[in-house]
Every structure is written in C-alpha cells, then in structure tokens.
A = this chain, B = another copy of it.
Amino acid sequence: MRVSVLGYGTVGVGVCEMLEKAEGLELRKVLVRPGKADKPFKVTSIEEICADPETDAVVEVMGGVEPAFSFVSAALRAGKHAVTSNKALVAAHGPELARLAAEKGVGFLFSAACGGAVPFLHNLALAAESDRIVSVGGILNGTTNFMLDAMQRRGMDYADALKEAQSLGYAEADPTADVSGLDALRKIMLGCAVAYDKLPCEGFSLEGIESVTADDVQHFRAKGLVLRLLVSGGLNERGTLYAFVQPCLLPASSPEASVLKNFNMAKYRGENAGDILFIGQGAGRYPTASAVLRDLSDIAHGRREMMKSSCVRVAADNSAVEKRYYVRLDAALSDCLPFAEKEIDGALARGVTKAIPVTEMHAKAKMLRERGAAVFFAAMEE
C-alpha cells in the first residue's frame, strides 16, 4: 500500500521513517507547509496528493480540526484510505468522516488518537463485534499521569511536577488541555463512539488535576491510596451513555496504581471477556507512529472501520452513576456535602461522602468554587 503523509512534525517524521522500513508499505508524498518542500517527495498542496493515482492511503498527523478536516475529507472523497492520530479531529467530525469513508468504500482508522501505542480502539472495535461492552475507560493522559506519579512517589508539588513534565516534552507550554482533563475527555469520546456507536458531545462531567496539592497526596499515601486521573464511559441502565473524567483514589495494589510515569492504561469490560487492560506509551514519535502503521496494516488486511457510519452524536448522562468522593475543602463549607466521615484540621475539612451522583459532586464543586472556596475531590474506586 502506498501512503502519503499530511504533516511532518514529531509524529509525521516517525511515520515516514517507519514506512521506509515496513514491508508492504511505501511512502509516496508528504504534505508540508508552503516554503518547506525541500525534497521532491514533499508537496505543499492537498490537491496534489488527492490527484496522485499512486497514493492509496493518507496519514493525517497535523493536529487541530482545520485544515485537517478539509484535507482528510478531500482524501476520502478522492477514494484514499485515511488514518489519523488526531483526537480533536475525530471528536469533532468523526461521524462525518466515517460516513464519507463508508460511501467511498475506503478505510478510516484512528488508533493513534487514543492511547498512542496502546492498541485500545482497534481491540475495542473487534471486541464490540462479538461481545457486549459493559464499560470503557482508564488512564488516557500521560502528562497528568506523569505529574501525579511524580507527586505520589517523589513527593513533588504540583508546580514542580508540571515544570518537569514540560522540560521532558510531556506537557505543552500551555498545559491546560492536559491538566483540565480535556485531552482525556476527547479520548473517552472516541472510546464510546467505537464501543457504542454513539459519540457523546455534551453533558460531560469534567474535572482535571489542577486542584490537587502535595499535601493531599501525602494524605493519600498515608492511607495506602494512589491518585490517578481516570476516564469512564459506558451505558446506563436506561440506555443513555455516561462519560466523565475525574481524579480517582485507588488501592496501591490496583493495576491503575502500577501505571507509572507518562504511561497510559486503557480498558474495557466485556460481558464475556471480563476486564481487558492495555498498558503502554500514550504519546511520543515512535509509539504514536507505530499505532499509525498498525492501522495501515489493518486496512491492507481488509479491516476498514473503527467508528461505524451509523454513529450518532448524543448527550452524556452522568446522573445515574454514583460514587463516594474524597473531598478536601474549607472547614466552614463542609456542611454543603453529605460526608459519611470527615476530619477537621484547622481551616480544612477532609472526608469521604456518601455515594452521590457524579453530576451532583461536579455541580457542588462548581458552586463552591464560584463562592471562592478551594475544593479538591476524587472518586473512591474500591
């Protein structure tokens, strides 16, 4: 299969290198920015790639919604298979691209958009064909996992952990998308779309790690608990979809607690298969490129669909899932939450609530913060 690559950044260069070594795959052209076409195989117009009869597939690794959406659409319309690592693109326009690919009878896969080298979406799509997927989730942001692990095992504070993540290239100069949980949320959107044929697009409950302090982590350590930022998606009994991102506290013996540094862990629960977990590098040039190459290999073998053309957009409904929450907040405000147990330590209260809906906890935290309170919360995952 002959492949042209859209984008020549970190991942694009890795894809090109791997294509040159892979059997059965061949690099054709690379789309670069105007003025950057310093080799004959580099081109600056998407039309040139779409019109190339020797390009069978495109790989989009530019990032961002536009012009990626226009370019991938054009390639699919021209009858090229498309593989992308771009979660923002798929979260925004996945259903349209899946329909276009199905109409044209070509493949559209995006393994690398969720979990990097971790072969999650591929296996989830395969499992969904013959098993009922009960839930999907895991640790899908390596930046925040690196920070939480550094705080947990090395006692670092939030600011230093973030600085180290930035210096290692794990976090952007503006880390908002990672630490707010938005990046992880986009990935669970894709997981739900693959597992349930429904792309949740609103109604999310989203809490990142911005409120956690070194002092909080000290408290968890003393209790043998480990903090992780987990994503969760699944079907409610009433048939609606839940999808949320929030910090969670887990026993030190849990698989989640063993996910160190910037690794990712994705999982699904199949009615028949039980819990299946996947752990690996969620980002980086070669891990991400390796996922792109696996998708190309899948397309070459005839597996062409990850999101079905029937996939519809829905609102998430997180009111039916209940959790007990660990909460730290100003002692004076602690009556606002239904604590099952709490300790007052000077001006701070720390405790664990009764089981309450996910939506209730997120709404209460928002309300308290609007009143100027500092609040940290994490779901107890027993």
Contact = CB atoms under 8 A, between A and B. Distances in A.
Interface stretch (A121-129, A157-165, A176-184): A121-129
A2 to B, nearest CB: 15
Interface in A111-153: 117-119, 122-123, 126-127, 129-131, 153
A23 interface: yes
A131 B293 contact: yes
A297 B23 CA distance: 24
A259 B270 contact: no
A242 interface: no
Nearest to A129: B297
A191 to B, nearest CB: 16
A276 interface: yes
A92 interface: no
Interface of A: 14, 18, 22-25, 117-119, 122-123, 126-127, 129-131, 153, 252-255, 257-260, 270-281, 284, 286-287, 289-291, 293-294, 296-298, 301-303
Contacts of A294: 126-127, 129-130
A281 B290 contact: no
Contacts of A286: 271-274
28 contacts: A14-B272, A18-B130, A18-B131, A18-B272, A117-B270, A117-B274, A122-B126, A126-B294, A126-B298, A127-B294, A129-B293, A129-B297, A130-B293, A130-B296, A130-B297, A131-B293, A253-B260, A255-B255, A255-B279, A273-B287, A273-B291, A274-B286, A275-B280, A277-B278, A277-B280, A298-B303, A301-B302, A301-B303
Copies in the complex: 2
What secondary structure prevails in chain A residues at the interface with B? mixed
A207 to B, nearest CB: 25
A52 to B, nearest CB: 22
A364 to B, nearest CB: 32
A325 to B, nearest CB: 24
Nearest to A296: B130
